[in-house]
Structure 1
Amino acid sequence: MRPTSPGPTAAWSLPASLRGRVVTRVPTSRKVVALTFDGGAGSQGADSILATLRAQGVPASFFVTGAFASAHPATVRQMAAVGPVGNHTWSHPDLTTVGDATIRQQLSTTRSAIEAAGGGDPRPWFRFPYGAYDPRTLATVNADGYAAIGWTTDSLGWKGTSGGLTVAKVVDRVLSARTPGQVVLMHVGANPDDGTTLDADALPRVIAGYRQAGYGFTTVDALRGG
């Protein structure tokens, strides 16, 4: 059952550097990257991803929908043990097509679901569904205490083999774009047409490739304090 919206709470005080924009990289010259995983449509690759991250001692960031948190609370708790769990709205709508009241409800119900699952308060981290935003929607999420996190590189693993992708192509796409502060977008679900979990399958090779190139790993929490 969809949770009711929680009552008003004190908003996070976002630094100016996190307001009015979508952050697409961690500002650093150090050889570190931030692996991020979205959860919305399904959890088919989540167990594999979490097992790999734990076994390799790699932190990561997660952005889950309220529907995902409600359906997979144990997974959200495991995510929170690896890194921060951010807000990805309740039902993954294109926020540029809905009003401010709907945006606020999407944020608040999702926060409630993530907290109920044991993932903690997702603030201040948020990711726009489809990466779709405009000045109005950005101002609305900022006013609710959220910084918008985008990505430097989309692995495109979500396209699956039916979309012309393979594990090797995912690995090459991510590693060929490596740069200090890179934010990588991957997904915990499966492609709905072919059932593949390319991001989960590619992750061990992605981690190994970064380490071979002398890279370490960070999370979006590195952005705290602006």
Structure 2
Amino acid sequence: MNIRRGALVVAASILVVTACGSGTPDESSESTATSGPTSEAATPPSEVPAPAPSATFPVPVPGPRTGVPEALRGVDLERIPTGEKVVALTFDGGASDTAVSRILATLARYDVPATFFVTGEFARTYPDRVRAMAAAGYPVGNHSDTHPAYPDLTDEQIRADLAAAEAAITALTGRPAMPLFRFPFGARTDADIRVVNDAGYVPVRWTVDSLGWKGTSGGLDAGAVTERVVTTAVPGQIVLMHVGANPDDGTTLDADALPAIIDGLRTRSYSFVDLTDFVR
């Protein structure tokens, strides 16, 4: 382990290996948002609500060294800094692709932008899924190559991992994953953030973790996932969800809850954005 590593800085007290890790749903740690009550997910209406007007917000000025906005250097972005009622839906892809088609279909049906973060390993294993994300117009960010814990790597190993994932993703999408990046397991130190920034990336964390990766075996259902996301909504919220299935019970609660999440947020006058314009 690199001796430069400081104390691990995380937004939550427990790191859980999940769908982005090998053989599990994603790694996500507990969200900073409070847990929502469990309830049955509302059945989406037959008619899709009209989307709220698109929101606009200032785009930070790029810094001189890497193109990373100076205001975003040294941070793992947890919320878009805006007072407007916008939400960024984000989806991580690692070990499983089970719900990709359903998620893409729902996003298209509701005409909702979103941002995907996939590992290089996911791109190599499920190339058609990554191509489909890009073909639908969604940005596809870098979620590392093999999903290692970055605090356990040297600076050089981090740079190599970033480059391998970037190459795998770009080969399929035809455009850079950079500057969008999400740390594996959400695990990072201040030193890790500096290395990632210097490589040209803006780390994106989340405001709320849907916890859909826990599955029904973790005591959740689609209603609980919906409540957790909708009731914690704040301007600039970044929502963490996953494209894979829980390895123990095979459930895909994020995909199940997505229509009700979109309906619920729109009912509260929220519109949706992807992260591309903000991080450049």
- TM-score, length of structure 1 as denominator length: 0.92
Pairing partner for 1:32 from 83, 86, 90: 86
Tell whether the 8 Å contact from 1:37 to 1:187 is kept in structure 2 after alignment.
yes
Runs of 4+ in 1 over 6 A off after TM superposition: none
Tell whether the 8 Å contact from 2:66 to 2:197 is kept in structure 1 after alignment.
no
Q: Distance in 2 between matches of 1:145 and 1:170?
A: 33
Indicate the residue corresponding to 1:211 in structure 2.
Answer: 266
Structure 2 residue runs without a partner (length 5+): 1-64
Identity of aligned residues (%): 52
Q: Which amino acid aligns with 2:68?
A: L
Indicate the residue corresponding to 1:8 in structure 2.
Answer: none
Asked if residue 52 in structure 1 is aligned to residue 94 in structure 2, the reply is no
Asked if residue 94 in structure 1 is aligned to residue 149 in structure 2, the reply is yes
Indicate the residue corresponding to 1:105 in structure 2.
Answer: 160
Asked if residue 201 in structure 1 is aligned to residue 224 in structure 2, the reply is no
Indicate the residue corresponding to 1:18 in structure 2.
Answer: 72
Indicate the residue corresponding to 1:76 in structure 2.
Answer: 130
Indicate the residue corresponding to 1:131 in structure 2.
Answer: 186
Asked if residue 184 in structure 1 is aligned to residue 242 in structure 2, the reply is no
Q: Distance in 1 between matches of 2:141 and 2:238?
A: 14
User: Which one has a larger percent helix, Structure 1 or Structure 2?
Assistant: 1
Paired residues in the alignment total: 215
Asked if residue 151 in structure 1 is aligned to residue 206 in structure 2, the reply is yes
Tell whether the 8 Å contact from 2:124 to 2:168 is kept in structure 1 after alignment.
yes
1:143: how far off?
0.7
Q: Distance in 2 between matches of 1:74 and 1:12?
A: 31
Q: Which amino acid aligns with 2:114?
A: A
Indicate the residue corresponding to 2:61 in structure 1.
Answer: none
Q: Which amino acid aligns with 2:104?
A: L
Q: Distance in 2 between matches of 1:13 and 1:132?
A: 24
Q: Distance in 1 between matches of 2:80 and 2:137?
A: 18
Structure 1 residue runs without a partner (length 5+): 1-10
Alignment RMSD: 1.2
1:125: how far off?
0.7
Q: Distance in 2 between matches of 1:117 and 1:42?
A: 18
- TM-score, length of structure 2 as denominator length: 0.75
Indicate the residue corresponding to 1:6 in structure 2.
Answer: none
